[in-house]
Chains A and B, each alone.
Chain A
């Protein structure tokens, strides 16, 4: 290392060091054998270490060395952090086991479940840390206010399990529900703004969910590279259908069978002509099927409405006088509909006679519509109840003033103030807190949905497996192969269930902060229960039809559900006034007034002015218009890019074929014009196959010569009039002395065989070049 280097040399050295560093960082992605990689790594490390020190001079050298050391420490820290992150990912081994038994599509459900679990953890963290904990620690304790105390009348059975399971009693008057929260603007010594925090956490959960879903969709779309190209059907089946993760012999057998079936189907489709016999019958049947499905959907919607109405009637009459079924009718009916209607749709779809993938998409769409219809009917019924309660509030407010007056027993005049009589909060009449009621309804719905899912799992899968296994010994036909047999894991049904569950969480989280916590618990238990059930009771699917080529189908559904479930919550926040005596917004005319209040009191005056200007409709509307125009513009440019892409692809094909022809022409020109020597030289130089990487032009010539002799012959005879001289008689080839030795050309030479050949001239086996024989034995 010379101490003094000229600036140019220094620059060059620096460049080289940077290049080596880049090489080290990209080394793992190179397709070299390990020995070469390790050697290169060692060399580059030595080089970098040797010359790095020389690059700094004097004081700046010390700084440079310091920078380099800090960079190294940072990279090590990053690597350790990555290691730590991968070690933290839960359930990795379980999912791997499922993957090796059932293939990647079943495992994708569990990976989706795990992803949902992650999202719910974050939501739980937000609601727990910023809403539940502050109120529990710094707010007024239980029993200090009417809204925080169980009413005297209910105190007797507030601790009963039945009441608690129904989320009444002590569970209702706790941080779990909206009604417990106090509307005091700032609580505790931290001056924590509780109502503001509640509102912002509600908005934040929705915003976070949108962000995560859209980010995942964008990432999936990028990976696809625009996967709507159906023109590689057979090639993809051949090269991407085997699932390398399979490690179980049974699964492997199933996979082989399904691959064979899929090839046979594809062959059949290819061979069959496109004649559609009886197209009218098919069309009529399809219309009939859709009509039946619509009837089913309408029927289920009406049923739910009817049941909710009935439950309201029961509630008015008092719940104790009714049986368990009548009390839980709504939830049970919704869960049962969710269980039986999809089976009905399956039966109806037998009429339609679609390709299995299209049939699956229709089925998923119908189940989606069913769940959505049910959910919205439920919400509409709930709205009716809310309106009822809001009207009740007016009446109750009146009653309260009467009750207060009765407390003083008329001992006071109209305008005098008297020492307030202390009344225990449990005795004070309180308003019908509609928000808590909504929260309770959602929590009950989710609990019953969970119970239904688990019970269906245990009965439908586990019990069935046990029966098939043990009754098989004494049954007339083979239960395992015949009618019931073991159940398959229904990926799409389960994913839909998960998506809708999440939709209900999003809908109810504003009114019941305990919902994300409940969901985290539910997903945790689901993971273990379903992993066990899959391994114990299910068999791998026979035919794997994915609903779409990418994961974006389910992500898109999740996005739609997110949008649709936040609509009701937003509607209620904006239109309905909050209850006057419960919740963090009590006393305000609208819930979002809390923002206005915060702006006025906590922020400087000019901020409020700026905000009021920004929220002026005159400014907001043009902004919205601009965004719509931007979307339109981006959409049309993306369309034109896709078009350009297609045309480039077509051009690529034509150009490749042209190049092919031109190169073969050059090859024969060379042959006929040049002499023996040059041809031999060309042959030896070019017949040297080493790397599979994309070939440059010179090697393309080689490509033309390699391969099927018939291929070369074809081109020679059909296209080009400059044919080589006629082949000499067979006998001459056998006495090719020099050609018995393979010294000149490094490849085995195809000696003239005893069998008659149909090529016009003998060709070199390795490079298909016919020149070596013929030029040596030029016909007279």
Chain B
């Protein structure tokens, strides 16, 4: 049933299960027919090689977890990789990208969200004035309705024109 809900084939889902099991072999059972409710904590998931170097790894896992704290069940795990895989459509990726960059989970990308994103991207190498300038300019460019924060429609409008979005916002497993 999982392969109707995701962009993976049956073989890929089995491979994913293998990876999930590797993360915590004593916790994750090999047999999923009884639908056990096992959740792995955030710290284990972000130790995966695909996510280890990503500056947004914590946010990604939090977005796909049901409790918002980063504890993923196997279904959520598959969902995460499916939404970020190559065959996922642009609209779906845009929705999840918006959720990931929304650090304070208020459904808007306000200036603090932008500043946090920028600091994670540059690892604090930019001076505060430069950070301010970049965030102001980015806000100016993308904010269509002038409320000094980006709603989903502003974000979507901006990302739909970006040539690199699909090729960079994609995890392969």
State the A residues within 8 Å of B (CB): 24, 27-31, 33-35, 37-38, 41-42, 79, 82-83, 86-87, 96, 99-100, 104, 108, 223-227, 229, 231-236, 238-249, 251-252, 256, 259-260, 263-264, 266-267, 270-271, 549-550, 652-653, 656-657, 659-660, 689, 691-695, 703-704, 706-708, 711
The smallest beta-carbon distance between B91 and chain A, in angstroms, is 7
Provide the bound-state CA to CA distance between A236 and B11, in Å. Answer: 35
State the B residues within 8 Å of A (CB): 1-2, 4-7, 9-11, 49-50, 52-56, 64, 66, 73, 75-76, 78-79, 82-84, 88-89, 91-92, 95-99, 101-102, 106-108, 110, 114, 117-118, 121-123, 125-126, 130, 133-134, 137-138, 141-142, 144-149, 151-153, 156, 158-172
The answer to whether B49 touches A656 (Cβ under 8 A) is no
The answer to whether A42 touches B163 (Cβ under 8 A) is no
Provide the bound-state CA to CA distance between A271 and B130, in Å. Answer: 11
The smallest beta-carbon distance between B143 and chain A, in angstroms, is 9
Nearest residue in A to B74 (C-beta to C-beta)? A34
The answer to whether A652 touches B49 (Cβ under 8 A) is no
The smallest beta-carbon distance between A718 and chain B, in angstroms, is 14
Provide the bound-state CA to CA distance between A192 and B16, in Å. Answer: 52
The smallest beta-carbon distance between A612 and chain B, in angstroms, is 50
The answer to whether B148 touches A28 (Cβ under 8 A) is no
Given A83-B11, A235-B158, A270-B137, A29 and B168 touching (CB < 8 A)?
no
Please, which residues of chain A bring their CB within 8 A of the CB of B75? 34-35, 38
Provide the bound-state CA to CA distance between A243 and B56, in Å. Answer: 11
Of the residues A87, A231, A692, contact of B141 by C-beta under 8 Å? A231
Of the residues B122, B138, B141, contact of A256 by C-beta under 8 Å? B122
Main secondary structure on A side of the interface with B: helix
Please, which residues of chain A bring their CB within 8 A of the CB of B56? 242
Nearest residue in A to B50 (C-beta to C-beta)? A247
Please, which residues of chain B bring their CB within 8 A of the CB of A246? 53-54
Please, which residues of chain B bring their CB within 8 A of the CB of A656? 144-146
Nearest residue in A to B149 (C-beta to C-beta)? A707
Please, which residues of chain A bring their CB within 8 A of the CB of B106? 689, 706
Of the residues B78, B92, B114, contact of A29 by C-beta under 8 Å? B92
The answer to whether B122 touches A225 (Cβ under 8 A) is no
Of the residues A238, A243, A707, contact of B168 by C-beta under 8 Å? A243
The answer to whether A260 touches B123 (Cβ under 8 A) is yes
The answer to whether B172 touches A99 (Cβ under 8 A) is yes
The answer to whether A27 touches B5 (Cβ under 8 A) is yes
The answer to whether A24 touches B4 (Cβ under 8 A) is yes
How many A-B contacts are there with CB distance less than 8 Å? 201
23 interchain pairs, CB-CB under 8 A: A34-B78, A35-B75, A83-B10, A229-B161, A232-B162, A235-B138, A235-B142, A235-B158, A240-B168, A244-B169, A244-B170, A245-B172, A246-B54, A266-B134, A267-B133, A652-B144, A656-B145, A660-B147, A689-B107, A691-B107, A703-B151, A708-B148, A711-B147
Provide the bound-state CA to CA distance between A227 and B161, in Å. Answer: 6
The answer to whether A28 touches B4 (Cβ under 8 A) is yes
Given A233-B141, A259-B122, A224 and B1 touching (CB < 8 A)?
no
Of the residues A31, A96, A223, A271, contact of B92 by C-beta under 8 Å? A31
Of the residues B9, B92, B153, contact of A694 by C-beta under 8 Å? B153
Given A86-B9, A238-B134, A104 and B144 touching (CB < 8 A)?
no
Please, which residues of chain B bring their CB within 8 A of the CB of A42? 1
Please, which residues of chain B bring their CB within 8 A of the CB of A37? 5, 79
Nearest residue in B to A694 (C-beta to C-beta)? B153
Given A24-B4, A223-B166, A264-B126, A238 and B117 touching (CB < 8 A)?
yes
The answer to whether A28 touches B121 (Cβ under 8 A) is no
Provide the bound-state CA to CA distance between A280 and B15, in Å. Answer: 63
The answer to whether A238 touches B118 (Cβ under 8 A) is yes
The smallest beta-carbon distance between A552 and chain B, in angstroms, is 10
Provide the bound-state CA to CA distance between A707 and B89, in Å. Answer: 31
The smallest beta-carbon distance between A264 and chain B, in angstroms, is 7
The smallest beta-carbon distance between B150 and chain A, in angstroms, is 9
Provide the bound-state CA to CA distance between A41 and B78, in Å. Answer: 16
The answer to whether B162 touches A83 (Cβ under 8 A) is no
Please, which residues of chain B bring their CB within 8 A of the CB of A240? 159, 162, 164-165, 168-169
Provide the bound-state CA to CA distance between A711 and B148, in Å. Answer: 9
Please, which residues of chain B bring their CB within 8 A of the CB of A87? 11
The smallest beta-carbon distance between B103 and chain A, in angstroms, is 13
The smallest beta-carbon distance between B34 and chain A, in angstroms, is 15
Please, which residues of chain B bring their CB within 8 A of the CB of A35? 66, 75
Nearest residue in B to A270 (C-beta to C-beta)? B137
* Most chain A Cβ neighbours within 10 Å, of B108, B160, B161: B161
Given A223-B166, A693-B152, A28 and B6 touching (CB < 8 A)?
yes
The answer to whether A236 touches B164 (Cβ under 8 A) is yes
The smallest beta-carbon distance between B142 and chain A, in angstroms, is 5
The answer to whether B151 touches A28 (Cβ under 8 A) is no
Given A234-B137, A240-B169, A707 and B79 touching (CB < 8 A)?
no
The answer to whether A692 touches B164 (Cβ under 8 A) is no
The answer to whether A263 touches B5 (Cβ under 8 A) is no
Please, which residues of chain B bring their CB within 8 A of the CB of A244? 54, 84, 168-171
Please, which residues of chain B bring their CB within 8 A of the CB of A238? 114, 117-118, 121, 134, 138
The smallest beta-carbon distance between A641 and chain B, in angstroms, is 16
Known: A35-B75, A240-B164, A244-B54; 11 extra A-B contacts, CB below 8 A, are A28-B6, A104-B167, A236-B162, A245-B170, A247-B50, A657-B146, A694-B152, A706-B106, A706-B108, A707-B147, A707-B149
Please, which residues of chain A bring their CB within 8 A of the CB of B144? 652-653, 656
Please, which residues of chain B bring their CB within 8 A of the CB of A34? 5, 73, 75-76, 78-79
Nearest residue in A to B76 (C-beta to C-beta)? A34
Nearest residue in B to A236 (C-beta to C-beta)? B162
Nearest residue in A to B95 (C-beta to C-beta)? A31
Please, which residues of chain B bring their CB within 8 A of the CB of A247? 49-50, 52-53
Provide the bound-state CA to CA distance between A549 and B7, in Å. Answer: 27
Nearest residue in B to A95 (C-beta to C-beta)? B172
Please, which residues of chain B bring their CB within 8 A of the CB of A224? 163
